[in-house]
Chain A
Amino acid sequence: MGANGKLKVGMYWASSCGGCDISLLEIGPRILDLIKVADVVFWPCAADFKYQTVAGYPDGYIDACFYNGGVRNSEQEEIARLLRTKSKTLVAYGACAGDGGIPALANLNTIAAIYDASYHSNPSIENPDRVEPQSHLDTPYGELEIPRFYPAVLRLKDVVEVDYEIPGCPPQADRVWETIQAVVGGAVPPRNHALRVGCADKVVCDECLREKKLKKISQFTRGHLFRPERDWCLLEQGILCMGPATRSGCGALCLKADIRCEGCYGPPANAEDQGTAMIGALGTLLDATTEDRAQELVEQIADPTGTFYRFSFSSSMLKVRK
């Protein structure tokens, strides 16, 4: 707590898209209540504190620090460690920091393959000398350094001790506000073991208002190839909705737009691996009593790995591709 009696808060973005930083502001006018009790002391997207400033803070200076984005390079790990030292409570904010997020799909590729696409083989690239970004480069003026690209996306808790995690891509405003009130207001202990907050303990199906006719899936299809029925469960209609294997708390907002749940709130409570959770659930939902029929239906699924692990590949058991 600062000399003025206000809590110090920070927000950092690692391998993130900025959506989590935006989502923090979706609490809207409630932000004015927040600034009555808290000062921001580090937030690169919105305030002019530099890394040097943070390095100069005493340990534990930041009461609550929200870290969003996955750990994809050496700088992001370095800042994670710095912020852990300087923070009483460290919160992994959003799907990337908690489960790897969409960028963790890159764990299905190697660095070489990513570099090849980005810097060599994509159709608009003109790079005859096969130049690639270097983490260390000598110039006549001195060395230049950019962070080392890691071979896989890590979660925040893979590199430092994390106290709380808020799931979502991004977390929804009401859940964020509840969490801020709990963490910043002192209703929860400052230290914990990556306790997931800002979410409920069921799966998205529990929040979804579409009618469940309890019909088994007789065919898998894709939403742009037909007109789904408006108020009926999408999974029962054959669209691969991730509801059964996704933690609740978001309000099933995508379903309100007639789009399947993508799974952005991560694995259900008490499950770490969202993909196997979905495979487990599908085992009970298909209209199949013979092996041939089961095989036929399974083959209709376009992209199991990329669909089931869209947001959580870093939390899967296997985490990478060989």
Chain B
Amino acid sequence: MTSPHVKTAEGYRRISIDPVTRLEGHGKIDIFLDQEGSVAECFFQVPELRGFEKFCEGRPVEELPRITSRICGVCPEAHMMASAKACDAVYGAELPLTARMLRELQYNIFYVTDHATHFYALGGPDFVMGPASDPALRNLIGVIGKVGLEVAGQVIKCRAWGHEAAAIFGGKPVNPVNAIPGGMSKALKPEERARVEEICRFMVEFGIFTLKLLHDVVLANKEYVDLILHGPYYHETYSMGLVDAQNRVNFYDGKVRVVDPEGKELCKYSPPEYMQHIAERVEPWSYLKFPYLKAVGWKGFVAGKDSGVYRATPQSRLNAADGMNSPLAQAAYEEYFETLTGDKSGRKPVHHTLAIHWARCIELLNAAERGLELIRHPEITHPENYRVVCDKTPSEGIGIVEAPRGTLTHHYVTDEKGIVRKANLIVGTTNNHAAICMSIKQAAQGLIKKGVTVTEGILNMVEMAFRAYDPCFGCATHSLPGQMPLTVRIREWDGTVLSEASR
């Protein structure tokens, strides 16, 4: 909250959005208008630092998957997996197939839950209800009222079942604890396998359902399509994402591929090489750092081929890859690129910021399909191969996964006992910090001009520029002041009513 004594320079007017809402994390936006009423400058500030990189020093490295998972309680699995991979590398541990599959399986199930809650509860309401709609309804309750109570039931179920799976693997539904150097702490039992397969099957159906909802509610709405394609939400930047050996999107493992704004590969690096490609800079007005591509260099908060600004979002992952590793998601990928670029191969990147929501839904389906594939693998319940014992002398390791919000890098240096000496973390959203600042400024400049009355709706549309990047939060439902009469019926998948509530 800005204190009243903070001065605005003469000739300018300040509009503050504080705090930014319907996202995970803290942020504030200061928009400065000149005397004409146009946007002269816009600052997005991240007002928070906790110091994980420092206080991980001195900790036993095998504790880091559980310490760093508290960087984000919405995507704890992302940090846990990146950290566990870094720990594997610290110990030079080679994981058996079952261990690698368990990690990727748990991770993909988490991806479905995480992407679902963002689409339905955080970013989605802006589209389903309308960007400048009544704030009292611009949330999941409004979405329920508009598209039906089926949605509520399905989203609650997706989240509940997703967290149930997390607890089966890792003890706790939020902050599961089971990834260790060398694999996982326990095997998957056959009876657990059956239940997890049931969850995965539901998630595939849910993924299909979600894409259909997106089509019916967003893509069929000319106004929204116009906003996506022609609104002030567009930057031609580099795109980053993890890809497998066939250059298909993979959330858990692979190499980091970066393509330029036209889709040409700039680099494809394995985790130990990350420092050759990424550097971070500091600005005095934000606690969060600004990564950029070293090969291109920092040229300021600008887009284009000559600027080292890059994005690491669901959209970027699809841009950086040549396809998806599952059939339904691949079809969706082709449709997405066909619609937005005219080329279904995906060779031409998509740069429309609001289309990140669409890419996210494609990833949701992909994660569900991949999870179902893995749970059905005959070796997923192997009683021994869920881990190896670490027996080499620890030293240094780097682990990279795709967090839902972007490429996540954990780099540890330890002593010979495995006590951490140095930790370097480049966290998902951090990759996008520069782009987020640019997007917010672009939206503000596009929407706030001379003669325009600045309404709450306009300010929300500025926030939408941020929301497209940040999916990490879950919100099943909540209620707001306003007398919307509401009956909620929770139905089982076959239509049986489980419970009913009215207000």
Contact = CB atoms under 8 A, between A and B. Distances in A.
Interface stretch (B169-177, B222-230, B314-322, B351-359): B169-177
B38 interface: no
B62 A222 contact: yes
Contacts of B12: 141-142
B481 interface: yes
Of B47, B274, B411, the most chain A CB neighbours within 10 A belong to: B47
Interface stretch (A14-22, A182-190, A274-282): A14-22
Given A118-B51, A303-B60, A39 B73 contact: no
Given A17-B73, A19-B70, A106-B54, A46 B49 contact: no
Nearest to A140: B9
A124 B25 CA distance: 23
Interface in A20-45: 20-23, 25-26, 28-29, 31-33, 35-36, 38-41, 43-45
B256 to A, nearest CB: 13
Interface stretch (A85-93, A130-138, A284-292): A130-138
Contact-size category for A? 35 or more
A256 B171 contact: yes
Of B32, B76, B289, the most chain A CB neighbours within 10 A belong to: B289
Given A32-B499, A146-B45, A22 B74 contact: yes
A21 B156 contact: no
B479 A141 contact: no
Contacts of A147: 47-48
B229 to A, nearest CB: 26
Interface string B64-77: 00110011111010
B477 A32 contact: yes
B163 A46 contact: no
Interface string B150-179: 000000100110010001011111111110
Contacts of A125: 279-282, 289
A306 B59 contact: yes
B185 interface: yes
A286 to B, nearest CB: 19
B281 A134 contact: no
Q: Is the interface of B mostly helix, strand, loop or mixed?
A: loop
Contacts of B21: 44-50
A116 B294 CA distance: 22
Contacts of B339: none
Contacts of A47: 21-22, 139, 478, 480
A48 B139 CA distance: 9
Given A124-B279, A146-B45, A224 B62 contact: yes
Interface stretch (B246-254, B360-368, B444-452, B468-476): B468-476
Contacts of A302: 60, 417-419
B3 interface: yes
Given A109-B51, A225-B390, A146 B285 contact: yes
A195 B279 CA distance: 47
Given A47-B480, A303-B59, A118 B54 contact: yes
Contacts of A102: 67, 70
A124 B32 CA distance: 33
Contacts of B58: 108, 303, 306
Contacts of A2: 481
B298 to A, nearest CB: 8
Of B418, B422, B476, the most chain A CB neighbours within 10 A belong to: B476
Interface of B: 1-3, 6-9, 12, 14, 17-26, 28, 30, 32, 40-41, 43, 45-51, 53-55, 57-60, 62-63, 66-67, 70-74, 76, 87, 91, 121-122, 135, 138-139, 156, 159-160, 163, 167, 169-178, 180-182, 185-186, 274-275, 278-287, 289, 291, 298, 387, 389-391, 411, 417-419, 422, 424, 426, 460, 472-481, 483, 488, 490, 498-499, 501-503
Interface of A: 2, 4, 13, 15-23, 25-26, 28-29, 31-33, 35-36, 38-41, 43-52, 72-73, 75, 78-79, 101-103, 105-106, 108-109, 113-114, 116-119, 122-127, 131-134, 136-137, 139-147, 149, 169-170, 172-173, 222-227, 250, 253-259, 262, 302-303, 306-307, 310
3 nearest A-B pairs in the assembled complex, by CB-CB distance: A19-B73, A257-B171, A142-B8
